[in-house]
Structure 1
Amino acid sequence: MCGICGIINLKNKPIRQATLFPMMQRMKHRGPDDEGIFIHQNVGLGFVRLSILDLSDAGHQPMNDGSGRYTIVFNGEVYNYIELREELKRQGLSFCSGTDTEVVLKAYIHWGEKCLEHFNGMFAFAIYDEENDVLFGARDRFGVKPFYYCMTEDQFVFASEIPPILETKCIKPKANNQAIFDYLVFNRTDQTEATFFAGIKKLQHGHSFTVKNGEYKSKEWYNLRERVEKAAPFEDEQAYRACLNSSIKLRLRSDVPLGVCLSGGLDSSSIASIVYEDFGNTGLNTFSAVYNKGEHGDESEYIDEFRGTLRNMFFTHPTVETLYQDIPNFVYIHAEPVPSLGPYAQYKVMQKAKENVTVTLDGQGADEELAGYHYFYGFYYKDLLRSFRMRKLLCEMKGYWHVHRSIYAYKTFLYFLLPKRMRTLARANEYGYISQNFIKRYSKRNNIAGNLYGSSSLNDALLDHFEYKLEHLLKWDDRNSMASSVESRVPFLDYHLVERTLATQSSEKIKDGVTKSILRRAMKGTLPEKIRNRMDKVGFDTPQDEWLRTSVFQEYIETLISSKSFKNRGYFNVQKVHELYQNHLDGKINVSKEIWKWIHLELWFREFIDK
């Protein structure tokens, strides 16, 4: 895991080290072990390294192919690099290191752009072909690893994070108001190539690009919908378990210590149980966030199910005081607003993990492929209604009530039946604090209501979530882990597992009011029953509603929402903001997510735009 960056001066102005070096320093947390620079006339590549595989100097980047024609900067891991290296050796290629970086480079030389289809992993890379003066790059199937870029008349600039691009001053930082609308209204980011910065984009997941003769072109190299149509569904839970085990085994390849981020939920607990039970890792390190008993987000009763089994369990205790201290760095390392404080728990977990390991396994992706979020019930009901399976619909709705004693699924069902325009306006006006002028200007341009909430079936909804939602979770995972120089791996996002799971019938995901049916059955006898049978959905979370009522934050928030800059942004009905905040303080309502969105958005402006 590393950080990559680069510049092409499109008008052939020579690159200077003094331009690349500050970019690298802005993301040194991604690679504290080594760094390197490549310059050829108007092309420059920069790299900072976090050593994971082959810790020797042979893994130094930028890496060339030996002839001097090809040079690569690579971020991520290709887990099947051992098998690919042997295959390429049989084709007559030779290797000088034990790194996956060299495998990626030689695979590109041998197979060209089709090399991407051979890779099983998470990656973002760029390869410069000096002979043809072409820069080629690509991003993994689901967007686990980041790649940002900016194209101007004079330059093409790219990096693993946005701040290194800003360091070049290729553009003046300016807010993308459509991204801000989507953030405030839908709590969503990263559903398109756009970022919060106008003029800075991200290479979309499953896409590759070339820069040649001053022209940038991107194209899709991986289409999940097409792959799912061809995939073989799982015939039973044993087949699912075998595929999950295979994914985890591949992601245990590492030359440095490894652990599991253990939230106490079904997904991360399944990973920890398989690593311990099936692969005999009795010394497994786990890392968890816990809170005071009774506080929202405290998962101690589930995490404690592993006490006596796992020997190396480590805990972090985030508090309102640590949050107050950490806010400046949290805002800086994320570089874009985050719509809840859930990622702060993971931020603290990664800090704890760094004290003991360099690689972690995480449960991201399981909710998207196994319908883990409770609003997926609404899509399932919509699916059953459209196919006139009324008896099944009534049985599933009854099952949900029996298990959860909640009407949440029924509310989302009705919401998903609304026309797209009404879905947008219902969310935009839910609390009444967003400026009506802002809503009028940007609601019609919004695509989330259609892309994420207009799906006609459960499986369509899952595919849409891979396309439009998953990436912002992966972005937060990347920023939190890399801020502590930790590599986070996500076994549930092995493409073999994803494709076959999504090809499997809906009843294996939701059945009798219970989500993740096939995973629950697959883990019987391995996972503690208390966890296997839990029906709520928490993950790494925080007691943000309590925190944002405390005296620690009261003056801070009052000052922020009363500031001239906050009032002049043009996004808020400021009187309504104050009214909602007071009602939150009085315990009449819980709008902690909205309050945090106000805080992070304003601090983001001050850190990145106003300066």
Structure 2
Amino acid sequence: MCGLIAVRAFGVSDNLQRRAQHALNTLARRGPDAEALHQVEQAPLTVLGHCRLAILDTSRAAQQPMRCPLTGTTLVFNGAIYNFVELRNELRELGCVFVTDGDTEVLLHGWRIWGEAVFSRCNGMWAVVLWDSSSGDLVYCRDRLGVKPLYLHHDGREATLASEISAIAVMRGGYPAPNPEKLFDFLVTGFSEQGTATFFEGIHAIPPGMVCRMSRTGHFSARPYHQWPEPGSMAPLSAAELRPLLEDAIRLRLRADVPVASLLSGGLDSAIITRVALNASQQPRQALTGAFTYGYCEAEQAPFDETARAAALMQSSGHADLHRIVRYSPIPSADELMALVGVQGEPFATPSALASFRTYRAIREQGYKVVLSGEGADELFGGYPARYLSVAARDALKSGRLVGLVNMLRHRAFPPGLLLNRLVWELPRAPLSTLLRRHRPSADLMSDDLWDSQRHRLAAIQNGMRSSLEDLLRQDQLNNLLPMVLRIADRNSMSAGVELRSPFMDHRLVERALSTPALMRVSERHSKTLLRTAFRGLLPASITDTPKNTGFGHAEQFLVSRLPWQELLNDMPSALRAFLNTDKLRSRLATDNQHSTLWLALSVALWYRKFYG
């Protein structure tokens, strides 16, 4: 788990290695254990840089950039290949000799033996850049879901690949202009990671599941090494199959040569991970030695505090001594809030991100480098009942399945007003535009210039909002919600030098879930039916049979008006007015009647202040 940079100059480039070193310095928090640069032997001028968070084989021999002694191919890698032991055994049978006991050398030998096919053999999360000695190509690749980040900027003279946009900004001498299309989409939908565009013009995320190449002459190519199955193309996932598959994913993600902890809330996903990991901890190189829960200091936040439920689980498992509770006030200082904004690098959809930002720091302070967490369970198994059941109700209404609609409304699994919200997107474009500007603060707070120049994008947004439940679950997993969750999780964890591992992101599990009909994953009564059924008996009924009403950092979502916005919105850069009506934003924040999308506008304002102020 690390930070990486790769720079290639296609002409004369001043001080490339010195600038690459400065860029690598911006990633130091991702890998505080070691750093190095390597300049390849052949033209064009190419530099690979790496800062290391040592997790597997913590010796100096496993440091990067790592060079193949047989071919000269050189690699930098951010992530973890969980099945590296099995792959190494295969490669040894093919004659490979290993000098390290980690996953990086497995990738290097795997490239030599299997070429691009190595990536389809990997179970893990990764962003990899390698200089291929035989072709001179820079080859770069992300894992199937894009758990680990990788960005590209290319201006015709110089191309930079990096784990974070901050490193690219150093290489080009500053941040590019804001991307108005991205700002518009975010303020309308709240989604930040759709497609490859970023909030900065000319900087793009490398798409997941692709092997990309940059030739010595600057020619770019890409091809998929993985494609997700369509619904119904595989047998539906049953509860009986789900449990052993997830248990194996958890066991694989326990592999580490450093202490491993779990992030434990009071809910189903983290309870499954923690209990299974505790049961597996007798195996070699597998030991869960801590579980951390985020809680609040003040009684006012008691309804959102999950520490009692988490403590009860640890007590029932016989491992109460491993439980750690960290408590905070939900209201950050201005400095802490802006530190979070800086770490995230782009606008983000919820202030609840503050909870993980704090928790990973506390975890690292107690000596842990690896944390297991439950990202992806909600998107895979329908864990947002209000979001998904309101769509199921709309689908039932549109198709005339009135009995199903009545049943969903009778169970009161979502506020009936959400059904109306869904139906609004069925309106023609003109009345839809009027309603958005009138009733959604984040849309209303856009400048007139931004709205007028980008309102044509409503056609694509509206098409997505009209998706069926089946399509919505798939979009949330691959394009909408999960990529946003993964970005927030990566930046927050890596800012503390913590590797975050998510068993629900195991590609074997994702494939089976995506091929399982939506209504098998989302019932009319509550969320995550398959998960609850699969783990009854292992977990207390209070967890498997009782949906919780809170989430990680839940209190922060409802306290936007109490954030230290007054001092932060003073003396904002005047150019922000091209995108936001800052006077109206201040006025809305000062009122008691807060809408959930108000944070979106504030997030944009704070991002602009941080990176353009």
Question: Scaled by the length of structure 2, what TM-score is found?
Answer: 0.90
Output the CA distance in 2 between the equivalents of 1:101 and 1:81. Answer: 9
SS of residue in 2 equivalent to 1:317: strand
Q: How does 1:536-575 map to 2 (within 5 A)?
A: 536-544=548-556, 547-550=559-562, 553=563, 556-561=564-569, 563=571, 565=573, 568-575=576-583
Aligned to 1:329: 339
Q: Does 1:434 align with 2:446?
A: yes
Point out the more displaced range, 31-40 or 596-605.
Answer: 596-605
- Paired AA for residue 10 in structure 1: F
The aligned counterpart of 2:310 is: 303
Aligned mates of 2:34, 2:8 — CA distance in 1:
23
Correspondence 1:449 to 2:461? yes
Alignment-derived partner of residue 396 in structure 1:
408
Output the amino acid matched with 1:127.
Answer: L
Match of 2:591 in 1: 583
3-state SS of paired residue (2:183): helix
Kept after mapping to 1: 8 A contact 2:259/2:289: no
Counterpart mapping for 1:71-82 below 5 A: 71-82=74-85
Structure 1 421/284 Cα, relative in aligned 2: closer, same or farther at 3 Å?
farther
Partner SS for 1:141: coil
> Aligned-pair distance for 1:279?
5.1
Residue type of the alignment partner of 2:307: S
Residue 38 of structure 2 corresponds to 38
Structure 2 contact 128–140 (Cα < 8 Å) conserved: yes
Compared CA separation, residues 172 and 50, structure 1 to 2 (3 A): closer
Shift in alpha-carbon separation, 1:575–1:482, aligned structure 2, 3 A: closer
1:363 has 2:369 as partner: no
Aligned counterparts of 2:136 and 2:430: Cα–Cα separation in 1 = 47
In the other structure, the counterpart of 2:185 is 182
Between stretches 558-567 and 389-398, larger displacement belongs to 558-567
Distance in 2 between the 1:276 and 1:574 partners? Answer: 50
Q: Retained in 2: the 8 A contact 1:173–1:609? A: no
Give the aligned partner of residue 526 of structure 1. Answer: 538
How many pairs were matched up? Answer: 595
Are the equivalent residues in 2 in contact too, given 1:369–1:502 (CA < 8 A)?
Answer: yes
The residue aligned with 1:286 is 291
Change (3 A) 1:422 1:119: farther
Q: In structure 2, what is the Cα distance between the partners aligned to 1:263 and 1:371?
A: 18
* 1:211 pairs with one of 201, 205, 214: 214
Cα distance in structure 1, aligned partners of 2:54 and 2:27: 15
Q: Distance in 1 between matches of 2:287 and 2:7?
A: 46
Distance 1:318 1:599, change over 3 A: farther
Percent identical pairs in the alignment equals 29
Counterpart CA distance in 2 for 1:49 and 1:174 is 31
Alignment gaps of 5+ in structure 1: none
Q: After TM superposition, give the deviation of residue 547 of structure 1 in Å.
A: 4.5
Q: How far 1:239 sits from its partner (Å)?
A: 1.2
- How big is the shift at 1:608? 1.7
What CA deviation, in whole Å up to 9, does each residue of 1:250-282 have, x standing for no partner? 111111100111122221122112222465689
Q: 1:572–1:258: structure 2 CA closer, same or farther, 3 Å change rule?
A: same
**Residues 541-592 of structure 1: per-residue CA shift (max 9 Å, x gap):** 2433664444xx5xx53344454636852233445334322322xxxx1236
User: How much does 1:604 deviate?
Assistant: 2.1
Equivalence for 2:21: 21
SS at match of 2:56: coil
Change (3 A) 1:208 1:446: farther
Q: Which secondary structure does the structure 2 equivalent of 1:46 belong to? A: strand
Structure 2 residue identity aligned to 1:195: T
**Quick one: distance in 2 between partners of 1:320 and 1:273?**
28
Kindly state the Cα deviation for residue 419 of structure 1 after the two structures are TM-superposed: 5.5
Whether the 8 Å CA contact 2:61–2:100 is kept in 1: the answer is yes
CA-to-aligned-CA distance 1:324-359 (integer Å, 9 cap, x gap): 341232122111122221111011110111123110
Report which stretch shifted further, 559-568 or 265-274: 559-568
- Quote how far apart the aligned CAs of 1:515 are: 1.2
Q: Which of 226, 235, 259 is the matching residue for 1:257?
A: 259
The partner residue of 1:314 within 320, 324, 334 is 324
Q: Distance in 1 between matches of 2:511 and 2:86?
A: 21
User: Which residue in 1 is equivalent to 2:158?
Assistant: 155
Q: CA RMSD in A?
A: 2.5
Distance 1:424 1:117 in 2: 44
Counterpart-to-counterpart distance in 1, 2:268 and 2:429: 33
Q: Partner of 1:472: helix, strand, or coil?
A: helix
Distance 1:421 1:465 in 2: 27
Worse overlay, 33-42 or 357-366: 33-42
SS of structure 1 residue aligned to 2:181: helix
Q: Given the alignment of the two structures, is residue 136 of structure 1 paired with residue 139 of structure 2, yes or no?
A: yes
Greater alpha carbon shift after TM alignment, 201-210 vs 323-332: 323-332
Distance 2:575 2:21 in 1: 38
1:471 and 2:476 correspond: no
Structure 2 residue runs of 5 or longer lacking an equivalent are none
Cα contact 2:65–2:75 (8 A) shared by 1: yes
* Change in CA separation of 1:564 and 1:321 when aligned onto 2, cut-off 3 Å: closer
SS at 1:445's partner residue? helix
Tell me the equivalent position of 1:240.
Answer: 242
